[in-house]
Amino acid sequence: VQLQASGGGLVQAGGSLRLSCAASGRTFRRYNMGWFRQAPGKEREFVAAIKWNGGGGNTYYANSVKGRFTISRENDKNTVYLQMASLKPDDTAVYYCAAQQAYSAISSDAIEYDYWGQGTEVTVSS
């Protein structure tokens, strides 16, 4: 599967952005989807993940974004979203979407993901 992330940009602290990740092919629902980010000089870190079937109880968040970010997906549109609110300068990073085979236990570990998008840059100004 090929992934294309979009929606990044420059936003002031306290603002909102919605990232999208479009997947190619007709097998999107066979994958759990995750968002990761990498800030300059830092390692890539987990942000959020959603199981192949979406819905309540099937989403997971890093503590740093819980209550501010929401991950969702539309399988009919082969797209996963990351709605980001109350953004902080510390959220500045390149955000990547990633796909993990649905038969695997959903994971916050980047090594468990098989496919990656190219990244979209988010800059939050103070």
pLDDT digits (tens, 9 = 90+) for 26-74: 789 999 999 999 999 999 999 999 999 887 779 999 999 999 999 999 9
DSSP string for the chain: --EEEE--EEEETT--EEEEEEE-SS-GGGEEEEEEEE-TTS--EEEEEE-TT-STTSEEE-TTTTTTEEEEEEGGGTEEEEEE-S--GGG-EEEEEEEEETTSPP-S-GGG--EE---EEEEEE-
What pLDDT does residue 24 have? Answer: 93
Q: What is the pLDDT of residue 57?
A: 77
Residue-wise pLDDT tens digits, 61-112: 999 999 999 999 999 999 999 999 999 999 999 999 999 998 888 899 999 9
pLDDT value for 4: 97
Question: In whole numbers, what is the pLDDT of the chain averaged over residues?
Answer: 95
- Quote the pLDDT of residue 54: 82
Inform me whether the pLDDT recorded for 117 exceeds 80: yes
pLDDT, position 84? 98
